[in-house]
Structure 1
Amino acid sequence: METRYNLKSPAVKRLMKEAAELKDPTDHYHAQPLEDNLFEWHFTVRGPPDSDFDGGVYHGRIVLPPEYPMKPPSIILLTANGRFEVGKKICLSISGHHPETWQPSWSIRTALLAIIGFMPTKGEGAIGSLDYTPEERRALAKKSQDFCCEGCGSAMKDVLLPLKSGSDSSQADQEAKELARQISFKYGTQNPSVAPLPQPTQPAPKNTSMSPRQRRAQQQSQRRSTSPDVTQGQPPRANHTEHGGSAMLIVILTLALAALIFRRIYLANEYIFDFEL
């Protein structure tokens, strides 16, 4: 497989390193790339203990982008489980639905533990989520052990190591729960219950040192600023009554001045005419 890929590619280097780290299965999870495609992995996880998925073994696909690990993978469950839809990309903050929350330090192992940790949580309408009853999930958990993947040929009974009650098993369970607490579950639509509350408007402080005349001027300024005629980003419109009266007064004064000048010219011309006679 190495000769088919550019070994200088950061994504290829990273995926080959993770494939070597996850080569040996554990009693909780296992994942490896397909023989003919380094960017598609098949994984198997065990249902978390003391939950509706206890005893279940679930299989799925992880499709990685060429920009991995800078961009997140897409996660698809193939085994019916009652928590995630089969054959559909599930919506987690660690999946391709939310690249804004993905961290390059996360890995395929992180994704596997996150799936285990999120299984007992509520779906609440997220993309690719289901909210089956506990009875239905327990029935699917028993049935999952007979699942065989047509894509990679894996049989669930043979993929994982036998479950043991040692410290390693307990540590994996605790790590999965901690990831579920740390990684926020992202919904397909915004949850209005977590929307930020509007901040109350604080009244302007009163200036007790202002004179009565200054207070009246400030109040008039505030009324003009809150007037419906004032729009954001535009100057307030002029008062038509005041401006109309001023314009009329200017016109009257201009006409009066013109008449006065005309009269004086007329009288001067008449005086000259009488003098010549």
Structure 2
Amino acid sequence: MAFEGKYNIKSPAVKRLMREACELKEPTEEYWAHPLDDNLFEWHFTVQGPPATDFEGGVYHGRILLPTEYPMKPPNIILLTPNGRFETNKKICLSISGHHPETWQPSWSIRTALLALIAFMPTPGNGTIGSLDYTPEERQMLARKSQSWECSSCGRIIEQLSTVSKPPTQEESTLISQIALKGEEQSIEKKETEEIVSTAEEESREVTCDEIETPESIRQRVTISRPASSSTTANEVQPQRATMSSSEGYRNLVIWILVVAIAFLVYRRLYLI
């Protein structure tokens, strides 16, 4: 690599990436990563599928896009090999990726991101951005097919890994488990928040105009017909009429109070909220 003439080697990002490129120069059994010859801020990587999972035996290739503010800002990770866990050619939503800059720590590195990616593969997608929930059979089939996958820039990806094993240290394992847990918690919290909002909207739904009874329907429902008996005398009919008139006046008053109240609620619903 001869990036000295192309980049400002005094830049913190350039110094950091050149140091990481030297540290990751030798491939391992778990991963391989290298910057492109003409772009220090774009890396290609290959990771081995985690053993004892649906991805065992799989070899997965992808891109890492690093911001010029790295390591103060996180990278974006894109997988190119079909795998059944992450969408291809789409930025993955992880707590160590550009989707969550608030959780990124400058002490993390490309190696940390690769190890965390391997650890994330067997975890549930839970609907996060770029996640897939293929069946175990489909993932195992894709793992077998991945062994013959080739990158137009890097060639056959299975040849990039070596037989040298360099598993995570105890400190890295603890850190990665915390990263994975945080990522899953964020997904669960987001899902619970959406459910709470949906329930609140349903419970706060008020009566619509279609559900409001009209004054005419109210009159038809409450009006009571009380025909006079044929044997009623003229003296008896007169007090009955007076009583009925008083009752009807009371009913009408109640009806109009209800109509005004309903109209006020409709006006408030449509214009004041």
Q: So what's the TM-score if we normalise by structure 2?
A: 0.65
The residue that corresponds to 1:94 in the other structure is: 96
Counterpart residue identity of residue 192, structure 1: E
Secondary structure of 1:62 counterpart: strand
CA contact (8 A) 1:27 1:160 kept: yes
Looking at structure 2, the residues matched to 141 and 174 of structure 1 have their Cα atoms a distance apart, in angstroms, of: 28
Secondary structure of 1:39 counterpart: strand
Report the aligned-residue RMSD: 2.4
Relative distance call for 1:48 and 1:194 in structure 2 (3 A) is farther
Looking at structure 2, the residues matched to 86 and 153 of structure 1 have their Cα atoms a distance apart, in angstroms, of: 17
The residue that corresponds to 1:181 in the other structure is: 177
Return structure 1 stretches of 4+ with deviation > 3 angstroms.
Answer: 171-180, 186-189
Secondary structure of 2:190 counterpart: coil
The residue that corresponds to 2:160 in the other structure is: 159
Secondary structure of 2:150 counterpart: coil
Looking at structure 1, the residues matched to 171 and 19 of structure 2 have their Cα atoms a distance apart, in angstroms, of: 21
1:85-129: CA deviations, max 9, x gaps? Answer: 000000001000010000000000000000000000000100000
Aligned-pair CA distance for 1:190: 1.5
Looking at structure 2, the residues matched to 154 and 46 of structure 1 have their Cα atoms a distance apart, in angstroms, of: 16
CA contact (8 A) 2:126 2:188 kept: no
Counterpart residue identity of residue 160, structure 2: V
1:145-200: CA deviations, max 9, x gaps? Answer: 111011x23312210013x7xxx45x4497776444210214398232799xxxxx
Secondary structure of 1:48 counterpart: coil
- Counterpart among 118, 121, 124 of residue 119 in structure 1: 121
Consecutive unaligned residues of structure 1, counting only runs of 5 or more, are: 196-277
Relative distance call for 1:24 and 1:71 in structure 2 (3 A) is same
The residue that corresponds to 1:131 in the other structure is: 133
Looking at structure 1, the residues matched to 170 and 86 of structure 2 have their Cα atoms a distance apart, in angstroms, of: 21
Looking at structure 2, the residues matched to 90 and 102 of structure 1 have their Cα atoms a distance apart, in angstroms, of: 14
Report the identity percentage.
65
CA contact (8 A) 1:116 1:176 kept: no
Secondary structure of 2:53 counterpart: coil
Relative distance call for 1:32 and 1:10 in structure 2 (3 A) is same
CA contact (8 A) 1:113 1:175 kept: no
Looking at structure 2, the residues matched to 75 and 132 of structure 1 have their Cα atoms a distance apart, in angstroms, of: 20
Counterpart residue identity of residue 34, structure 1: L
Aligned length: 190
Q: So what's the TM-score if we normalise by structure 1?
A: 0.64
Aligned-pair CA distance for 1:8: 0.6
